[in-house]
Structure 1
């Protein structure tokens, strides 16, 4: 569709310029009200100011006195140049960057012609317009970056402040936001967000007791066999409260990393392990066939009491070598996660508070919400559901 170029009479130009001159308003809002370009109205204002600078001469000028008119125009242009150079004096005192000149031109483009400002500052007009396009694109990128920052901040907060860039990226992907890890890491640095990393592991040699039975190592550090209920791993750790120590025994499925049994008490006895093991046994339907129960050689795991319990439940016992903590490294890694991401981040007044909060963290967050990198950034419960879905079904009798 063709458009007709607007034409303005000299009287209209002068009246439009007087709206700026007489009221002292900026050029930009007046131009918007009149439907004019800022630069166009700015030129009219400059011309009217030049004309008003010598009203008597303008009134007495003869139409044929072209030389006088030319001198007046030059005088008006020089005054405009001097006025602009006064505003640009701070930049001209030193070798200003091109972008700084463009910023001044952007701020003053409603009052002075772009071509004249470019000449006085020693930059190109095309360079100025190219800079404006880049600035517009930068503004759009800033909007996108702000949106990503908000999503990263929300994902980090939903993890209770423990996720680093890899897990935040996985969390965003699960919610339909596809960004790469470097973008997430840059956003977290920009906002001062950090994940929580475990402390360096210091092995502790377990204390055993004289045994009347022999327990082999059936795992040999190959905990994850790719199948559920093939290997269960366990250990005991101690947690500090203002009332004293509280001890936690956990049993996990080595394939899904899920905590399937746990127990806490003020003493660490074989009964503590038995309670956790029986919870896992009940959760798994009361009788997984051939499951291996692996732990270290602590006295609770090598005791006759636990051996009798495992025999009665049809569970095979397995222990690592004496003084070699790496034989149960998968469970030691779980303790590092629990203490770094949850337990050591606050002070616990009573054992009761610690037991309730730890159980809630295990069941609600660790098993069902925390993303595990070893599981393809899925949760243990989701991973078990996936394995159960893909598991071959037994043939039905005819």
Structure 2
């Protein structure tokens, strides 16, 4: 009965996390209950059977083959399916061949600029709106990937900007930057923005947006994740503390969970030793 109550109100004001906490039930239990309520039809049942075969076969082949070879495997096994259908099902399941390049980190065009590492791992910043660091991560959902772009203020350790969506592009970075700029309103000429060398950050749209606001741009050295360790560390915490216990959930549900973690738990509940044991919100209030 409590799970039905939560489900009836999941799209209203309160996120699932808050309602589950108030009613004394687990989020994972709610999502398992909700999944049992969704009974697949004949078409979905056929897709599930094909997808189960594809993923099992890929596991047997050490996740080496791509969708074309797995399509041939399905054909030989007697499944009636098209190559594009196999590609779509594997994408929705979040499968990638071990030999495929990581999404968003393919070799970029030579015309895209690479800027020096001005931050140089100087992660201790005395005030807010002086240094922002940013990165993009991906989270697997039932419909496929959810990409998360975050902008972290090194002075306060707050996530000042965020954006989420099913596509990893420069527009995701722009949305996160615009979200940060709207709420923080920094002096651009006093701000350093640091990221890795991903094509999203090196795009003309993002460079122009930052240059128009007189922001100084810094980039990590190629293949050196330690140059952007604070942003990497935030995503590691997000996945370990919040996302992993959820299991496989739908994309819109994951968006709600990530938004709640960033806006409430990480900012107002989680204490940071780099801030003297204060939460980011309490540190800003005390500054």
TM-score, scaled to structure 2: 0.61
**Per-residue deviation at 1:335?**
0.9
Equivalences for 1:1-398 in 2 at 5 Å?
A: 206-209=105-108, 210-285=110-185, 287-387=187-287
User: Helix, strand or coil for the counterpart of 2:145?
Assistant: strand
CA deviation string 1:161-203 (max 9, x = no partner): 9xxxxxxxxxxxxxxxxxxxxxxxxxxxxxxxxxxxxxxxxxx
CA deviation string 1:80-124 (max 9, x = no partner): xxxxxxxxxxxxxxxxxxxxxxxxxxxxxxxxxxxxxxxxxxxxx
Task: Judge conservation of contact 2:133–2:151 (CA < 8 Å) in 1.
Answer: yes
Higher relative contact order (CA 8 A, sep 6+): 2
Structure 1 residues 206 and 327 mapped into 2: Cα distance closer, same or farther (>3 Å)?
farther
Structure 1 runs of 4+ off > 3 angstroms? 204-208, 211-214, 286-289
In 2, the alpha carbon distance for the partners of 1:366 and 1:358 equals: 10
Task: Judge conservation of contact 1:223–1:254 (CA < 8 Å) in 2.
Answer: yes
In 2, the alpha carbon distance for the partners of 1:229 and 1:208 equals: 32
**Per-residue deviation at 1:348?**
3.9
> Highest Rg: 1 or 2?
1
In the other structure, the counterpart of 1:56 is none
**Per-residue deviation at 1:292?**
0.7
**Per-residue deviation at 1:384?**
1.6
CA deviation string 1:228-249 (max 9, x = no partner): 1111000000001111110000
In 1, the alpha carbon distance for the partners of 2:265 and 2:171 equals: 26
Task: Judge conservation of contact 1:291–1:316 (CA < 8 Å) in 2.
Answer: yes
In 2, the alpha carbon distance for the partners of 1:341 and 1:315 equals: 33
Task: Judge conservation of contact 2:195–2:201 (CA < 8 Å) in 1.
Answer: yes
Instruction: Give the unaligned 5+ runs of structure 2.
Output: 1-20, 27-101
In 1, the alpha carbon distance for the partners of 2:169 and 2:125 equals: 30
Structure 1 residues 386 and 303 mapped into 2: Cα distance closer, same or farther (>3 Å)?
same
Task: Judge conservation of contact 1:211–1:304 (CA < 8 Å) in 2.
Answer: no
Structure 1 residues 208 and 234 mapped into 2: Cα distance closer, same or farther (>3 Å)?
farther
In 1, the alpha carbon distance for the partners of 2:197 and 2:248 equals: 30
Task: Judge conservation of contact 1:208–1:302 (CA < 8 Å) in 2.
Answer: no
In 2, the alpha carbon distance for the partners of 1:241 and 1:324 equals: 28
Task: Judge conservation of contact 2:163–2:172 (CA < 8 Å) in 1.
Answer: yes
TM-score, scaled to structure 1: 0.45
Task: Judge conservation of contact 2:136–2:148 (CA < 8 Å) in 1.
Answer: yes
In 2, the alpha carbon distance for the partners of 1:215 and 1:350 equals: 38
